[in-house]
Chain A
Amino acid sequence: MANLKELSKAPERVTGGHRLCAGCGAGIVARQALIAIGNTPVVVTSATGCLEVSTTVFPYTSWKNSFFHSAFENLAATCCGIETAYKSLKAQGKIKENIRFIAFGGDGGTYDIGFQSLSGAMERGHRMLYICYNNEAYMNTGIQRSGATPRGAHTTTAPAGKVRQGKEQNRKDLTQIMVAHNIAYVAQTYVGNWNDFITKVQKALAVDGPSFINILTPCRLGWNYKPEDTMVLARLAVETCVWPSYEVENGVYKINVMPKEKKPVTEFLKHQGRFKHLFKPENINILESIQKSVDEKWEILQRKALSGCKV
């Protein structure tokens, strides 16, 4: 549980004036993650993507800490290179202080093109926190389908058309894949609950090894909604159990935000232009199958959390 009074004293390390869209969740993710770390020095790395291009337009930068970007598909390898340099220089006595390492990647850079790099770095056990700001498509290049795009969503490469109704496949469950790497801390969270996210970042950074947070980050442009609704939408994703907030700490599951009343998935879908076509009468079967899939997954997650057993 994060303490707001203490957090208010933490330095702001991501300054305003960046070029992210109004209502973009990624800026909120970056700012809150760095508030969570308090005064500890941090080196931030990022994959090519919205967050990186919007915060580092040369000769300006939004980052008060050291920030590094090199390419798209190599974020985890990049972060691990810096962490290893730190390990080496620290062992030689050339660096005295404790420095932490955070990697920010979008879902395209994490689920898809950077997946191998991520898996390798997690397996090798580098002490780094990888945060996937997951807006469920390639937003920087203009809303293309990714492995994180949910079924039925309209994207520019899996569009809704006369014979196809958006993405036909379910998304990959990357959080579970990270759990399968047997790392000490894996969590799912969402923009719009600072306490949940910041607590998770603090837990993740306390781990002496790799940790992973998958944060659902609404994209105003790609999801097609009003900029002021970013938080509302992310909360609806949790309340409908489309995107549960949970953590797996040393193999033990815990649901962190239990919806008071589980809302139907349409409550989440109906505010977003990307799902508009699903509300045509002929697509009722798709809505039903989305609901069914969410129900099944929620049931499995609850069972895992209730059992208290290690995976």
Chain B
Amino acid sequence: MIETVYPKGKLVAKTGNEVMAEAMRQIEPDVVAAYPITPATEILQIFSQFVADGVVKSEYIPVESEHSAMSATIAASAAGARAMTGTSSQGLCFMWEMLYIASGLRLPIVMAEVNRAISAPLNIHGDQSDTMGARDSGWIQIYSENSQEAYDNMIQATRIAEKAKIPVLVTTDGFIISHCMEVVELYPDADVKAFVGEYKPERYLLDTKKPYTLGSIDLQDYYFEHRFQLAEAMRNAKNVILDVAKDFEKSFGRKYDLCEEYMLSDAEIAIVIIGSTAGTAKVVVQELREKGIKAGLLKIRAYRPFPVEQVTKGLKHIKAVAVMDRADSCSGAFAPLYSDVVSSLYATGVTSLKVVNYIYGLGGREINIRHISDVYETLIKIATGSEKPSSQVRYINVREK
């Protein structure tokens, strides 16, 4: 029996997947189409049970592939339904073509995404290669540090998507968040439903009074404008995310931003990081602070749109920064987050600080307090000039030979 109603402020022990499914139940989209893939399967299994038990009014399409999952979700959204899906890794790769179509058609889809490594070699564990690969697909990307954030982000994502008219994916780190049980505060159904509101699309295919053609061929005369409008909408989406965060804080008391600064304002050395490892790094920052070392941390919550101004504002006074990527772009140069951080700094005229790039945790490889302490130690050396910041990407906890 699935318990479905929470009194205000109820604390429960749940996994990341369970709370994402809970958010989906409370949002109660009209259509969900999805295909099983580890470690995201559970979200859809739980949701299917809600449908089977009549707990939600949603229709669930158990499609035959992720490509069809995204295609059916896109079509349902275009038809006028509030539509959601969920996937991970290879599944997201298989959706790749359709991700661009979802954003290009400006459909407010929400996806529960569980970060997992990409084949080959086959690996089911957590890293962020999958969503980093989709970073140019025109989706808003919101990363979570823990289950509470995953739950809160899902609830905010629906509002963000529908206001910005851009699809949103909310991620958790595979297994580390998706399968780890944590204490999470779940909000009452009525409060979530009131926050999310009713979906009222402006134009939709099932509106027989105003039929229209969507998905036209769009040639030299118009394509560029449509892509420009999408890019512009993504730039404007920063304010949408912030507005929704403000409302969320009013309704539920938790504060969200594009980034989270942790002991950063007076810091001299800092790490920039995304996802669950931010939690580990915060422990290291506390330990260093106790020793009188001015360490800080900047966690990126919204990676797309990339918060250029907030990143620059947060880092400009720091002497040495380590950008930690849980994905490798195999570019022969740098990993995705590093490239975004450095170009943001340089473009806004902040060139005084030393920035190094670390890659860690691919395929679920252990990343612990000791590893992060080592990074901060290196940053101290770079900040004091005893070590030169090399332009080479550094790898944590890997056998290089």
Assess A52 versus B217: contact at CB under 8 Å? Given A73-B67, A74-B98: yes
Assess A116 versus B215: contact at CB under 8 Å? Given A71-B71, A78-B72, A80-B75: no
Contact indicator per residue, chain A 79-91, by CB within 8 Å of chain B (1) or not (0): 1111011111101
User: Can you name 27 A-B residue pairings with CB atoms under 8 Å?
Assistant: A56-B213, A58-B219, A58-B221, A61-B213, A63-B211, A63-B213, A66-B206, A67-B213, A68-B78, A68-B79, A68-B213, A68-B214, A70-B78, A77-B33, A77-B72, A78-B71, A81-B33, A82-B206, A84-B72, A85-B77, A86-B206, A88-B31, A99-B206, A99-B208, A117-B68, A119-B64, A123-B64
User: CB < 8 Å: which of A64, A70, A71 contacts B211?
Assistant: A64
Judge whether A95 is part of the interface by a CB distance below 8 angstroms: yes
Which chain B residues in 63-102 approach chain A with CB under 8 Å? 63-65, 67-69, 71-81, 83, 97-98, 101
Q: Which residues of A contact B75 (CB under 8 A)?
A: 45, 68, 70, 77-82, 85
Judge whether A8 is part of the interface by a CB distance below 8 angstroms: no
Q: Which residues of B contact A80 (CB under 8 A)?
A: 61, 72, 75
Q: Which residues of A contact B58 (CB under 8 A)?
A: 88
Which chain A residues in 17-74 approach chain B with CB under 8 Å? 41, 43, 45, 52-53, 56-59, 61, 63-71, 73-74
Those 5 A-B pairs whose CB atoms lie nearest each other, nearest first: A81-B75, A120-B64, A81-B72, A77-B68, A69-B215
Which interface class (under 10, 10 to 19, 20 to 34, 35 or more) fits A? 35 or more
Q: Which residues of B contact A58 (CB under 8 A)?
A: 216-219, 221-222
User: CB < 8 Å: which of A52, A87, A119 contacts B59?
Assistant: A87
**When chains A and B are docked, how far (Å) is the Cα of A147 from the Cα of B78?**
31
**When chains A and B are docked, how far (Å) is the Cα of A57 from the Cα of B220?**
11
Query: Chain A nearest CB: distance from B33 CB in Å?
Result: 6
Instruction: Say whether A120 contacts B63, CB under 8 Å.
Output: yes
**When chains A and B are docked, how far (Å) is the Cα of A9 from the Cα of B69?**
39
Assess A82 versus B216: contact at CB under 8 Å? Given A73-B67, A77-B68, A88-B58: no
Q: How many A-B residue pairs have CB under 8 A?
A: 164
**When chains A and B are docked, how far (Å) is the Cα of A274 from the Cα of B167?**
46
**When chains A and B are docked, how far (Å) is the Cα of A81 from the Cα of B215?**
15
Q: Which residues of B contact A92 (CB under 8 A)?
A: 30, 57
A72, closest chain B residue (CB): B97
Judge whether B62 is part of the interface by a CB distance below 8 angstroms: yes
Judge whether B228 is part of the interface by a CB distance below 8 angstroms: no
Judge whether A124 is part of the interface by a CB distance below 8 angstroms: yes
B217, closest chain A residue (CB): A53
Q: Which residues of A contact B208 (CB under 8 A)?
A: 41, 66, 97, 99
**When chains A and B are docked, how far (Å) is the Cα of A120 from the Cα of B58?**
20
Q: Which residues of B contact A89 (CB under 8 A)?
A: 30, 80-81, 206
Residues of B bordering A, CB below 8 Å: 30-31, 33, 57-59, 61-65, 67-69, 71-81, 83, 97-98, 101, 105, 205-208, 211-219, 221-222
Query: Chain A nearest CB: distance from B82 CB in Å?
Result: 9
Instruction: Say whether B79 contacts A86, CB under 8 Å.
Output: yes
Assess A81 versus B79: contact at CB under 8 Å? Given A71-B97, A71-B98, A92-B57: yes
Instruction: Say whether A77 contacts B67, CB under 8 Å.
Output: yes
**When chains A and B are docked, how far (Å) is the Cα of A116 from the Cα of B59?**
22
Instruction: Say whether B215 contacts A56, CB under 8 Å.
Output: yes
Instruction: Say whether A81 contacts B73, CB under 8 Å.
Output: yes
**When chains A and B are docked, how far (Å) is the Cα of A52 from the Cα of B214?**
11
Q: Which of B62, B74, B211 has the most CB of A within 10 A?
A: B211
Q: Which residues of A contact B30 (CB under 8 A)?
A: 85, 88-89, 92
Contact indicator per residue, chain A 108-125, by CB within 8 Å of chain B (1) or not (0): 000000001101110110
| Extra inter-chain contacts (14) besides given A52-B217, A74-B98, A77-B63, CB under 8 Å | A43-B79, A61-B212, A63-B213, A66-B211, A67-B211, A67-B213, A71-B98, A77-B75, A81-B73, A84-B61, A84-B81, A117-B68, A121-B68, A123-B64
User: CB < 8 Å: which of A61, A74, A88 contacts B81?
Assistant: A88
